[in-house]
Structure 1
Amino acid sequence: MSELRFVVDPDLTPELTGELIGCWTDVVNAGGSVGFVPPVTSDDIMETATATFAACDTARGGTDHLLVGFDGEDRVACWLVLGDGKSWLRAHWRWVWRVMVDPKHQGRGYGTLLMRAADDAARALGVEALHLTVRGGTGTEGFYGRLGYVEVGRIPRAIRLAPGDDRDEIYMVKNL
């Protein structure tokens, strides 16, 4: 496994933004459950990506934090967002959103490394707990469970992928 270099809140240059959107597109088209259903193009993702990255632009008042794992060639290998709860009552925890590993790096343990880096980044922000949701039927709750996340609830059939294909939304929490 090549070494990953993790950066919190990297400068969102047009080049980096393009790589992140490319990764997002590839992850969805490989079957990843990150807000879309395949097939998609980068244009399909653009509006959501623009809003996601604007919320991570701390220089312009964004309150979310982007965590990017760069591979040995300094290309985006994986990334996620630590989302703000948008309330001082929830300032001690963050949401983990848009967790993805570029499909060409799947099977190398990058997902685990990314989630451990998220733990470290959250601790550095003074965060005490991380929350996330997963789409039922994907098996990802097992991955997160091995990393210390506990299922705390689920909403049956909350996610509709297509008519007749409804999935549970599973809520998980990890205390840091």
Structure 2
Amino acid sequence: MTLTFEADPAVDPALTEGILSLWADVSNAGGAVGFVPPVTPEEIRPSLLKHLTGMAQGTHRLLVGRDEDGEVAATAFFSFNSHRLMTHWVWLYTVMVHPRHQGKGYGLDLMAAVEHTARTAPGFEAVEAIRLGVRGGTGVDSFYAKAGYKEVGRVPDAIRVAPGDDRDDITMLLPLT
């Protein structure tokens, strides 16, 4: 069994609800995707709407992975730079694999699909690198290193998860050239 990846899927209510459910489940399982548990899909909805608005404006792209039942099981959002001196790289946000699918290699499959999309999809021709931010103290920086990303920056204690629980903001980079 494997996930099926699609870049720029049609946005409809089923996709929106699937992403909201995935995002809540990942967050509530301790995933570092912008929220601290407990969180509900309704609390996440405004953040997803920002991503979807960016997609409609052409500043964001979505890669979605679906499981054998067609359910949303993984996501990664690309965000293009609007600064004219930084259009040669994209940010990667909201990288998630559903907890029920973790430990099966799907995370590395997702990251391979991210790289493939950035190298081959229309609209990515000028992209030379992918950057992503990682919450320190979670161990996911080691996961991204396995996918070829290198740490290129770190801001100590930049992310406040809770009072007295500050984490480093780690920037990682995957050159495509």
Distance in 1 (alpha carbons) for counterparts of 2:142 and 2:109: 16
Structure 2 match to 1:89? 85
Tell me the secondary structure at the aligned position of residue 116 of structure 2: helix
What letter matches 2:8 in structure 1?
D
Please report how far the alpha carbon of residue 100 of structure 1 lies from its aligned counterpart in structure 2 after TM superposition. Answer: 0.2
Distance in 2 (alpha carbons) for counterparts of 1:56 and 1:27: 22
Structure 1 match to 2:155? 155
Structure 1 match to 2:35? 36
Distance in 1 (alpha carbons) for counterparts of 2:67 and 2:89: 28
Distance in 2 (alpha carbons) for counterparts of 1:166 and 1:150: 22
Distance in 2 (alpha carbons) for counterparts of 1:88 and 1:65: 19
Structure 1 match to 2:5? 6
Distance in 2 (alpha carbons) for counterparts of 1:62 and 1:45: 22
Please report how far the alpha carbon of residue 74 of structure 1 lies from its aligned counterpart in structure 2 after TM superposition. Answer: 1.2
Instruction: Say how many residue pairs are matched.
Output: 172
What letter matches 2:35 in structure 1?
F
After TM superposition, the structure 1 stretch with the greater mean CA deviation from structure 2, 2-11 or 23-32, is 2-11
Identity among equivalent pairs (%): 48
Structure 2 match to 1:123? 119
Matched, 1:51 2:41: no
Please report how far the alpha carbon of residue 148 of structure 1 lies from its aligned counterpart in structure 2 after TM superposition. Answer: 1.1
Distance in 1 (alpha carbons) for counterparts of 2:37 and 2:167: 16
Structure 2 match to 1:106? 102
Distance in 1 (alpha carbons) for counterparts of 2:46 and 2:73: 22
Tell me the secondary structure at the aligned position of residue 89 of structure 1: coil
Please report how far the alpha carbon of residue 104 of structure 1 lies from its aligned counterpart in structure 2 after TM superposition. Answer: 1.1
Structure 2 match to 1:171? 171
Distance in 1 (alpha carbons) for counterparts of 2:147 and 2:112: 8
Matched, 1:20 2:16: no
Structure 1 match to 2:76? 80
Please report how far the alpha carbon of residue 107 of structure 1 lies from its aligned counterpart in structure 2 after TM superposition. Answer: 0.7
Distance in 2 (alpha carbons) for counterparts of 1:104 and 1:148: 24
After TM superposition, the structure 1 stretch with the greater mean CA deviation from structure 2, 26-35 or 40-49, is 40-49
Please report how far the alpha carbon of residue 128 of structure 1 lies from its aligned counterpart in structure 2 after TM superposition. Answer: 1.2
The answer on whether the counterparts of 2:20 and 2:45 sit within 8 Å (CA) in structure 1 is: yes
Distance in 1 (alpha carbons) for counterparts of 2:2 and 2:136: 31
Please report how far the alpha carbon of residue 90 of structure 1 lies from its aligned counterpart in structure 2 after TM superposition. Answer: 1.7
Distance in 2 (alpha carbons) for counterparts of 1:5 and 1:162: 36
Please report how far the alpha carbon of residue 87 of structure 1 lies from its aligned counterpart in structure 2 after TM superposition. Answer: 2.2
Structure 2 match to 1:62? 58
Please report how far the alpha carbon of residue 86 of structure 1 lies from its aligned counterpart in structure 2 after TM superposition. Answer: 1.5
Distance in 2 (alpha carbons) for counterparts of 1:10 and 1:69: 10
Please report how far the alpha carbon of residue 54 of structure 1 lies from its aligned counterpart in structure 2 after TM superposition. Answer: 1.4
Structure 1 match to 2:136? 136
